[in-house]
Amino acid sequence: MASDSPPANIHDRPSSPDDSISSPIGNTFSSPGGAATRRGRRGRSSAADATPTPPQNSRFAADAATTPTPPTSRRPRGGGRRRNTPSTPAAATPSSADEAPQSSEGGEGDDANEAPPMFVWGTNISVQDVNASILRFLRHYRENPAETEGKYMRAIHYVIEVEGESLEVDAHNVFDYDTDLYTKMVRYPLEVLAIFDIVLMDMVSRINPLFEKHIQARIFNLKASTCMRNLNPSDIEKMVLLKGMIIRSSSIIPEIREAMFRCLVCGYYSDPIVVDRGRISEPTVCGKQECLAKNSMTLVHNRCRFADKQIVRLQETPDEIPDGGTPHTVSLLMHDKLVDAGKPGDRVEVTGIYRAMSVRVGPMHRTTYIDCLHIRKTDKSRMQAADLMDTENGSSRNEEDNPADHEDKVEKLRELSKHPDIYEKLTRSLAPNIWELEDVKKGLLCQLFGGNALTLASGASFRGDINILLVGDPGTSKSQLLTYIHKLSPRGIYTSGRGSSAVGLTAYVAKDPETGETVLESGALVLSDKGICCIDEFDKMSDSARSMLHEVMEQQTVSIAKAGIIASLNARTSVLACANPSGSRYNPRLSVIDNIHLPPTLLSRFDLIYLILDKADEQTDRRLARHIVALHFENPESSQEDVLDLQTLTEYVSYARNHIHPQLSDEAAEELTRGYVEMRRRGNFPGSSKKVITATPRQIESLIRLSEALARIRFSELVEKKDVMEAFRLLEVALQQSATDHSTGTIDMDLITTGVSASERMRRENMLSATRNVIMEKLQIGGPSSRLLELLDELKKQSSGAEIHLNDLRNSLHTLASEGFVSFHGDTVKRI
Amino acid sequence: MVGMPYDLLANPLGAVRLTFQKAVDSGHSGAATLDGRDWGAADLFRQFLFDDGGLSQVPILNAASVRTIPPNSLVRFRGMIQDMLGNEFYVGAYKDGGRWRTNKFTDVSQVPMDLSSDKRVWERRLLYCAPVPWLNSWTEPSSEVLLNRCASSTSPQTEKRQRDDDETIDHMDMEVLDHVFQGSPPAKKIRGGHPSPSSHSHECMAEGTCSSTSMVPDFESSSLPCLVKIYDSAEDDLKLNDIFEFIGVLTFDPEATAADKGDSDELENGFCEEESVHLPPSKVPRLHCLEHRKLGVHDFLSISPVMEPKPNQVKEIRETLLGHLTAVLGNDGLAAEFMLLHFLSKVHARVDTLAVGKLSLNLTCFNKENTSVFGNSLNLAVKNLLPITHSIPLSVDYLNTSTLAPRKDYETNRLMSGVLQLAEGSHLTIDETHIQAGTLTSVGVENTRLLKNVMELQKVEYDFKYYKMEMTTDVQLLVLSEGKSNIFPADIVLPLRPSSVGSTEMLDSEALKAWRWYLASLRSLPHTIEPQMQKVVEDDMVAARQANRTLGSQDFSRWLTMGRLMSLSFGETCLSLEHWQMVKELERLRMERLQ
């Protein structure tokens, strides 16, 4: 081996320091003894020698020549992987032919230098093949064929430019380009990654021979992720992708890589001694010829080289834990740059090599850990807050992460948006376990999508956030809706009105206990900037706390002037509040306003105010009864066909918010004006000004926002007339205005349509038009009145077969009466 | 399998190894293909334990017997899975010379392993099991079974345990007297019945619990936790808080010190599975599980299946039990009916967040005077009838200081138990009568919320620091309060109307046995409804709602639960009109009382 001393040299240098890291590992790991290890090492080093093809060889040597000059060329992150290469065979073999052991290997290692086909120990993987395919991949992989330069060539140049230390390699790309290489990489990561690094090093030195840092390949984004609890002995020494949450990270452990000794007698400094498999061979004799004192060498700490290391504990995320289990945990070993890459509480995706080592307490036990290669923070359960509304800079991140995937998803979402009934479908998918309340859900959907925020050149800004208030009888699943929205929304904050104070909602000034400085602490509203702030039990909130909301809900800022801090914080948040009516149950004898009992200043800031009333209806009751009986006696199966799952819904909403910015069409604008004028007129009904919620300019803004949201739901860049009409409908339905008697401001309980299914509503509408027709035919304006039963008979005759109840007729007549078409007293109907 | 060369009880490992050798010898490539799976040892033991009736000969592992049972012998352990410690990899098979040997079901290898020898790494699961919390002393398996083998050595301890039990009962009686005579200040009530200082003395327990509330304070005699190692078992078989009987090989070495800990360096400590550090083998015995079976409430009855009462006797038992409850409740028949239904309740389905089948009861009109009479006799009655019972004397102080929810301690990587980590089918009495005005700290508020969640959803949030994890539970909750409890909204609120002072009847042990059997076995009966009956029920509900708008799904749910329990209480599996009418009548009477 004398001939290849320079290459051997480079191998020894970079890799031996690495060995040091493995101190307890390499040491105690039950590899088949030192013999195998040594052979493995030789195999490795020869692999390193033989890898480069002839023309590269010289460069390689050149590079090698630069290597010995110490610190700079040291591989900064040694790594978990290279250092352990020697011991690999022992651990990797359980799956492969291990029975026929070392003997056959012996020869191979020796003549490996000469014999061209070289194999990774214990496998049939040819080193040259792997080398070549890695080289091909790095050179030629392109994301789209039009690019002139490969993705990774660009990346390498970039890394050289910024003097980076690692090259991130997307395993998906490897898979796309060379499936075989991918498989090898996952199955034998230690070997393949070592070759990867060599290839990289070689490429870099060719591009820039003076570049001295060693670049590591960091693989991420494997095709399949492993569930933590499914890791089993067969995964040992394989590359795995795990998702989880960091629960604990140790302090940074400095680990010696290279030791320096000094002679106590003569002061002679030894050459740096690299750690070899966890041990430093302390020189027993002074190296200086003149001295040669025995046992005089002492370690000089500040001339030794150390590397950072950290042990991190990763725990399963709650969604992976089966029913009745506790979360599993696994240790991660982080080196150098990865140290402190994640804090406790972060959700991360870790790519690494699963390893086992024996514990000193019991030689039979194995402790397992992941040798970490790459770590990525994730938080996927929510719409990504950063991406959500920051259209300028935020949206691109996702795409870069995973272009192909992203394209795919976008395509799917677009496909979805083309469904003619997408609006209904999304409505159904929102809180599917709460039945009915369709219109409320539609309103909430609008809130999730939001309108366009607009800033005029003059500085005036219009919010795009839609605020919703739910007022309703107890037990109408308001809180459930709230929690659902909270789960779905980005940065959702959920507070209860009873426990919230004004400062808790907005912001407050506090003294830092350590430094004594005054600091600004954000409250719920500021924290939910660009999200939805859900406030339960709004009615139980103190008045002062509620008044703080005025500014937030219209100006979308929180201003603080206190203790020397004057600040205005952004609080671009949608407010979703829910409250009980003033007497805790809705009192039909009082007007809507009296029932809600909130100051009009605040009320007008809500775009939609829903009255959710529990109404006597035999059919609903029966359905309820049946539902409950089924609950108790059958095995109720959740038959929710045709419903989007939360993930898709989240993505859909997120994409729409980022990419769709609808504009009003002329037609829609016209409709808006018309509708608004009509609303004003209705609100100014003589003698009713105090009892009904009248239309204000704020409402036209609400309408615009709602229409924009509705267009967004369809992924449409244009607000159409039907959007505006639906917006009007939502606004009316919300307040049960169709059922409101405008002369008294009370709601006719029989007319409430919320909580009535679409088909039922359709039936009622048909009934209404039928009744209208009959009255038109039979009654004269100002003519004699007619009895209810006569009308019923007439209707029955006309409808031929369909059952008509007196109650239905009554309902229709009430509606007609509220339109001013007929007058209806007791049992007599009169047309006016 | 006659004439086994090994005594399965005394030397189970011998049998394990023998079967292993056989399997390896007969197999093609030996241990390599085995991959940790069972090779027939489990069948051997299964046959021995269940078919040949060997189970009763297996000594039960508890604090008393652990010192006398020789290590590496077969034992059984009854306990609740308190924590799951994940998987452990171990060298399952290795080559010793030319022979494969196995390490399955043991912690130490038979012969010293050669470092360079060929090995196979297999995995096993670690479960931390504790004795069932709040298990009443009458459920202790009859000791004669356990004493078959090591009678001479354990009998003193058994006697001692017996004495301990007597003491607790004595103590309880004294408490009763205390309350009668002193009007019992609330602070005292907190520790009522459970002398807490003693619980701290026991080191094993102190480690797993928190200062103010030990997990199993009054079962020192059997408070031995155990680290169970599970082999070859599907993951979803074993769930947290399930009660199991594990039969396996014991390894326990009270003398062992933590193996040269000073030697191991920092890195190794970082990786080292915490259980070996925090659960040293010298304190916590290991059980290598060969066989396990899930236990239900009825497994804790000392009654043997042979003497199960006949169906026609069920009604009789129901009558006598009702009579007993009526007497305990001061001649309040209605309360006794509800109490009976409450005792039979069980969560039998979960839909969304709803727990179907629970029936929590809130008895009101307890005041300082009658609590001491009825409250305590009721507690005693509950204790005598149900195997797992616990009573929380609620006070502001208790709420502020106790640990109700289990909490994950990441320092030790252990789940710290809380009062609400209860096995399925436990009964919990919350005594609200002694609560006084005071300020709840954040801990107190959190605890209140937890109790409320248990009551409403039958769920306990386990605190995993970075997130909360909801665990379902099935606990019967009884609230005693002066007025309607607003903190804990129970399914049924019923004012107690006693007409006589609680009786001091002597309990007939035969009757007690029958009642226990009745309560334990009837509640697990299946239940259905006929279509025509379903129609009746629906009509009744619709009519009721038309008449009274305040009725909601909760009320209907309650009716149906009661209907189900009512027919169960007669030993029937199908809802009949008669029982439905009874339920409606009960509800009517209750409504009258509430007004």
Between CA B356 and CA B561 the distance in angstroms is 8
- Give the residue-averaged pLDDT of A321-338: 82
A29-38, A435-444, A578-587, A699-708: the lowest-pLDDT one: A29-38
Taking the CA of residue A477 and the nearest CA in chain B, the distance in Å comes to 12
Taking the CA of residue B202 and the nearest CA in chain A, the distance in Å comes to 26
Cross-chain Cβ contact A233/B466 below 8 Å: no
Q: Provide the pLDDT for residue B562.
A: 92
- Give the residue-averaged pLDDT of A61-68: 36
> Closest residue of A to B116, CA-based?
A32
Tell me the DSSP string of B214-246.
-SSTT-GGG---EEEEE-S--GGGS-TT-EEEE
Cross-chain Cβ contact A433/B352 below 8 Å: yes
Q: Does the pLDDT value for residue B342 go beyond 90? A: yes
Most confident of A238-252, A446-460, B22-36, B576-590: B576-590
List the single best residue of A628, A637, A749, A750 to mutate versus B (max B Cβ within 10 A): A628
Q: Does the pLDDT value for residue B258 go beyond 60? A: no
Cross-chain Cβ contact A361/B276 below 8 Å: yes
B539: left (phi over 0), alpha (psi -120 to 50) or beta: alpha
Q: Does the pLDDT value for residue A400 go beyond 70? A: no
pLDDT in tens, B320-333: 889 888 888 888 88
Tell me the DSSP string of B69-84.
SPTTSEEEEEEEEEEE
Cross-chain Cβ contact A365/B88 below 8 Å: yes
Cross-chain Cβ contact B527/A633 below 8 Å: yes
Residue A746 confidence class, pLDDT cut points 50, 70, 90: low
Between CA B61 and CA B79 the distance in angstroms is 10
Strand extents, DSSP E, A512-595: 518-522, 532-536, 557-562, 565-570, 574-579
Cross-chain Cβ contact B122/A359 below 8 Å: no
Alpha helices by DSSP H, listed for A208-314, are none
Between CA A197 and CA A700 the distance in angstroms is 63
Tell me the DSSP string of B546-575.
HH-TT--HHHHHHHHHHHHHHHHHTT-SB-
**Bigger pLDDT: A276 or A50?**
A276
Tell me the DSSP string of B161-200.
HHHHHHHHHHHHHHHHHHHHHH---HHHHHTTT--HHHHH
pLDDT in tens, A128-146: 888 888 888 888 888 777 7
Contacts of A33 in chain B (CB under 8 A): 115-116
**ipTM of the complex as predicted:** 0.73
Q: Does the pLDDT value for residue A811 go beyond 70? A: yes
What per-residue string of b and e applies to A741-776 under the rule 16 or more CB within 10 Å gives b?
bbeebbbbeebbbbbbeeeeeeebeebbebbbebbe
Q: Does the pLDDT value for residue B227 go beyond 50? A: yes
Burial class (CB in 10 A: 0-12, 13-18, 19+), A410: middle
Alpha helices by DSSP H, listed for A458-538, are 478-488, 502-505, 524-527
**Bigger pLDDT: A544 or B540?**
B540
Taking the CA of residue B471 and the nearest CA in chain A, the distance in Å comes to 7
Cross-chain Cβ contact A344/B466 below 8 Å: yes
Q: Does the pLDDT value for residue A460 go beyond 70? A: no
**Bigger pLDDT: B423 or A513?**
B423
Q: Provide the pLDDT for residue B589.
A: 92
A33-42, A113-122, A433-442, B482-491: the lowest-pLDDT one: A33-42
**Bigger pLDDT: B424 or A798?**
B424
Residue A431 confidence class, pLDDT cut points 50, 70, 90: confident
Residue B340 confidence class, pLDDT cut points 50, 70, 90: very high
Cross-chain Cβ contact B109/A326 below 8 Å: no
**Bigger pLDDT: A472 or A761?**
A472
- Give the residue-averaged pLDDT of B353-362: 84
Q: Does the pLDDT value for residue A699 go beyond 80? A: no
Between CA A103 and CA A101 the distance in angstroms is 6
Q: Provide the pLDDT for residue B403.
A: 86
Give the DSSP letter of residue B371: I
Residue B343 confidence class, pLDDT cut points 50, 70, 90: very high
Among A599, A476, A465, which residue's Cα sits nearest to residue A533?
A465
CB B577 within 8 A of CB B536: yes
> Closest residue of B to A322, CA-based?
B236
Between CA A550 and CA A547 the distance in angstroms is 6
Taking the CA of residue B240 and the nearest CA in chain A, the distance in Å comes to 5
Residue A773 backbone phi and psi in degrees, to 5: -60, -45
Cross-chain Cβ contact A32/B84 below 8 Å: no
The chain-wide mean pLDDT, for chain A, equals 69
Q: Provide the pLDDT for residue A603.
A: 75
Q: Does the pLDDT value for residue B248 go beyond 60? A: yes
CB A174 within 8 A of CB A185: yes
Neighbours of B357 (CB within 10 A): 23
Cross-chain Cβ contact A364/B552 below 8 Å: no
**What is the separation of C-alpha A607 from the centre of its chain, rounded to a whole number of angstroms?**
28
SS3 A612: strand
Q: Does the pLDDT value for residue A349 go beyond 50? A: yes
pLDDT in tens, A485-496: 877 776 667 777
Cross-chain Cβ contact A631/B239 below 8 Å: no
Q: Provide the pLDDT for residue A136.
A: 85
Q: Provide the pLDDT for residue B114.
A: 63
Residue A331 is inside which H or E element, if any?
Answer: strand A329-335
Give the CA count within 13 Å in the CB-facing half-sphere of A352: 29
Contacts of A633 in chain B (CB under 8 A): 527-529, 534, 560
Give the CA count within 13 Å in the CB-facing half-sphere of B166: 6
Q: Does the pLDDT value for residue B87 go beyond 90? A: no
β B354-356/B226-230 pair status: unpaired
**Bigger pLDDT: B85 or B592?**
B592
List the single best residue of B83, B273, B282, B294 to mutate versus A (max A Cβ within 10 A): B273
* Tokens (6 digits) for A128: 């040259």
* Tokens (6 digits) for A84: 């352990």
CA distances from B104 to B13, B229, B443 (A): 9, 10, 45
pLDDT in tens, B359-381: 999 988 887 777 777 888 888 88
Q: Provide the pLDDT for residue A112.
A: 40
Contacts of A621 in chain B (CB under 8 A): 541-542, 545-546
Cross-chain Cβ contact B546/A618 below 8 Å: yes
pLDDT in tens, B525-580: 888 888 888 888 888 888 887 777 677 777 888 898 999 899 988 888 888 899 99
- Contacts of range A780-784, beta carbons closer than 8 Å, 24 or more positions apart: A780/A831, A781/A831, A781/A832, A782/A831, A782/A832, A783/A830, A783/A831, A784/A830
CA distances from A740 to A366, A725, A768, B236 (A): 74, 20, 17, 56
Contacts of B91 in chain A (CB under 8 A): 30, 363-366
Q: Give the one of A248, A329, A616 whose C-beta lies nearest to B549's C-beta.
A: A616
Q: Provide the pLDDT for residue A100.
A: 37
Q: Give the one of B89, B108, B352 whose C-beta lies nearest to A366's C-beta.
A: B89
Alpha-carbon torsion (A813, A818, A821, A826), positive or negative: positive
> Closest residue of B to A314, CA-based?
B410
Between CA A367 and CA A331 the distance in angstroms is 9
Most confident of A120-134, A164-178, B416-430: B416-430
Q: Does the pLDDT value for residue A44 go beyond 70? A: no
Cross-chain Cβ contact A99/B553 below 8 Å: no
Cross-chain Cβ contact A625/B270 below 8 Å: no
Alpha-carbon torsion (B110, B114, B117, B122), positive or negative: positive
Q: Provide the pLDDT for residue A502.
A: 61
What per-residue string of b and e applies to B320-340 under the rule 16 or more CB within 10 Å gives b?
ebbebbbbbbbbbebbbbbbb
pLDDT in tens, B499-524: 877 566 667 778 888 888 888 888 88
pLDDT in tens, A200-220: 888 888 888 877 777 888 888
A375-384, A462-471, B412-421: the lowest-pLDDT one: A375-384
**Bigger pLDDT: B113 or B538?**
B538
Cross-chain Cβ contact B410/A253 below 8 Å: no
**Bigger pLDDT: A633 or B79?**
B79
- Give the residue-averaged pLDDT of A647-654: 79
Strand extents, DSSP E, A398-457: 454-455
B331: left (phi over 0), alpha (psi -120 to 50) or beta: left
CB B246 within 8 A of CB B76: yes
CB A735 within 8 A of CB A751: no
* Tokens (6 digits) for A671: 């409709």
Residue A670 confidence class, pLDDT cut points 50, 70, 90: confident
The chain-wide mean pLDDT, for chain B, equals 74
Taking the CA of residue A776 and the nearest CA in chain B, the distance in Å comes to 35
List the single best residue of A312, A326, A334, A343 to mutate versus B (max B Cβ within 10 A): A326
Contacts of B122 in chain A (CB under 8 A): 233
pLDDT in tens, A707-745: 888 888 888 888 888 888 888 888 777 766 545 554 555
Contacts of A235 in chain B (CB under 8 A): none
Q: Does the pLDDT value for residue B257 go beyond 50? A: no
Residue B263 confidence class, pLDDT cut points 50, 70, 90: very low
Cross-chain Cβ contact A366/B276 below 8 Å: no
B195 CB-near residues (< 8 Å, 6+ apart)? B171, B217, B218
Q: Does the pLDDT value for residue B300 go beyond 70? A: yes
Q: Does the pLDDT value for residue B111 go beyond 60? A: yes
